Amino acid sequence: MFITKKHMSRRTILKGMGVTVALPVLDAMSPAATAWAKTAAGESASKTRLVAMEMVHGAAGSTAIGTKKNLWAPAATGRDFDLSPTSLSPLEPFRNDITIISNTDLRQAEAFTLPEIGGDHFRSSAVFLTQSHPKQTEGNDVHAGTSLDQLYAQKFGQDTPIPSMQLSIENVDQAGGCTYGYSCIYTDTISWASPTQPLPMVRDPRVVFDQLFGVGATPEERAANLRTDKSILDWISTQISQLRKEIGASDKVRLNEYLENVREIERRIQRVEARNKSGETRAFPDAPIGVPDSFEEHVHIMMDLIALAFVADTTRVFSFKLGRDASGRSYPESGVSTGFHNASHHGEREDRIMDFAKINKYHVGMVPYLLEKLKNTAEGDGNLLHNSLVIYGSPLADSNIHNHRRAPLFIAGHAGGRIKGGLHIKAADGMPMANPMLTMLHALGREDMESFGDSTGELDLNSAAPATTTVADGK
């Protein structure tokens, strides 16, 4: 017996009947006697995965009452913080994996001229990941900035089949002008490939699934596959059987787990489609057939697809818009039946602020589902959460007064070890959110960027020492 350098290509795919299934990283993809980190598979897996999630309408903790009650950020900075009074309490099982960044501002989302006053809901989403002030227009001459997710994808997403993907939960395909002189484009996406190129977001899990697995090169092929009511795995069953004969025991376990996840997600999407085609009354009758009425079910399916894409290295970059500004959707599972937009305009009444905090907590409670999946997925000497950066925040702060000061923000994951986690950092008054985002870009490998949006410098994400900032024009 002797060791050879023969190995399976990292980009080995299984194909059949318009279906393309990428494989997870397997030991068989590494040449024998080669250090894992130096192999193509190891180098590919070591690239940080990025998920940037936006939730609209700010947070109860950004109000004066909410700040005193610590409804968003914990009272203590550093590592000895208490999440129990906050809307972040669902993150307690992952406290060592999160970094809370409080007290940052988004001045670029504020009104710069008189005609812009009142339009905060309709420009804010365009600011979140660009940290740039959008041009007020109802036409196609939109202008914002290049978003953080795309700055990463443009440099590190080009060696994956899909450079980046953009997901949403709410309806974000409205055309024309919204109100206050702003195009609906600004409200409909958080991802910008350039200051003039907003990227459309996908709401339907079926569309995401088909993009990830190349299900049907044409509409006719996709329709034919759906009519058969078969799993995509049925089309490649012969290849799967052959592959199992060629790989070792540990690879078989990894492959079987991956394929079962693919099949289970496909089953869940099929169940949603069957339910929505049954004739039963739908909560959102105009939504695509693959969109669940349940917010939690919808979010979880999308997160399952994110995790699956990361395992197969189909893409490393997701932006995920969890809500749409001015949405009246209600979340009764939070314990509050008031519509989201109305709840955010609480009139500074303490009882209504506390109700709004419950909705915030419910939304944050979606995130651990993804974090657990990433943490439970081994990769090299660590796991996917170690090699990921998950951003969650809002460009609004106190939505009741359309305020952008003390905006909610936290990150999860360790960006391959560059972010320690388990920390609450309170920024100096007036610090732009662009400062920690510039630091995130550097942690993601964009050290070439000296500034981002209206940044005035970096914010150390591994230290709770008091940070300083320079505020323009003394504001």
pTM, two decimals, is 0.93
Compute the mean pLDDT over every residue in the chain, rounded to the nearest whole number.
90
Q: What pLDDT digit, counting tens, does each position of 278-303 carry?
A: 988 998 888 999 999 999 999 999 99
Please check the confidence at residue 6 and state whether its pLDDT lies above 90. no
pLDDT value for 45 = 47
Min mean pLDDT across 41-55, 287-301, 334-348, 363-377 is at 41-55
Q: Of residues 355 and 249, which shows the higher confidence score?
A: 355
Q: Per-residue confidence at 344, pLDDT binned at 50, 70, 90?
A: very high
Please check the confidence at residue 24 and state whether its pLDDT lies above 80. yes
The helix (H) or strand (E) run that includes residue 393 is strand 388-393
- 105-117: b or e for each residue (b if 16 or more CB lie within 10 Å)? bbbbbbbeeeebe
Please name each of the domains of the chain with its CATH number.
1-46+206-290 (no CATH), 49-203+317-474 (3.40.720)
Please check the confidence at residue 168 and state whether its pLDDT lies above 60. yes
| Strand positions, DSSP E, 180-251 | 192-194, 197-198
Q: What pLDDT digit, counting tens, does each position of 436-456 carry?
A: 999 999 999 999 999 999 999
Beginning with the edge strand found earlier in the chain, give each strand of the sheet holding 165-168 in spatial order: 165-168, 317-321, 49-54, 388-393, 409-412, 98-102, 423-426
Span 186-207, average pLDDT: 96
The torsion region of residue 184 among left (phi > 0), alpha (psi -120 to 50) and beta comes to: alpha
CA-nearest of 270, 264, 262, 259 to 229 is 270
Please check the confidence at residue 219 and state whether its pLDDT lies above 70. no
Cα–Cα distance for residue pair 267/370, rounded to 1 Å: 19
Min mean pLDDT across 1-10, 187-196, 220-229, 325-334 is at 1-10
> Cα dist. 398→65, 109, 331 in Å?
11, 13, 19
- Residue 424's beta-bridge partner residues? 78, 100
Span 73-96, average pLDDT: 97
Q: What pLDDT digit, counting tens, does each position of 237-249 carry?
A: 999 999 998 888 9
Please check the confidence at residue 43 and state whether its pLDDT lies above 60. no
Q: What pLDDT digit, counting tens, does each position of 44-55 carry?
A: 445 899 999 999
pLDDT value for 37 = 52
Q: What contacts 24+ positions apart, CB below 8 Å, involve 226-235? A: 229/270, 231/263, 231/266, 231/267, 232/19, 232/21, 232/262, 232/266, 233/21, 233/259, 233/262, 233/263, 233/266, 235/16, 235/17, 235/18, 235/19
Residue 193's φ and ψ, nearest 5 degrees, are -70, -25
For the packed helices 249-276 and 237-246, what is the interaxial angle rounded to 10 degrees? Answer: 160
The torsion region of residue 134 among left (phi > 0), alpha (psi -120 to 50) and beta comes to: beta
Cα–Cα distance for residue pair 462/469, rounded to 1 Å: 17
Span 323-331, average pLDDT: 93
- Kindly report the number of other CB atoms within 10 A of residue 27's CB atom: 17
Q: How is residue 331 annotated by DSSP? A: B
Look up tokens 């693959």; give the residue. 290
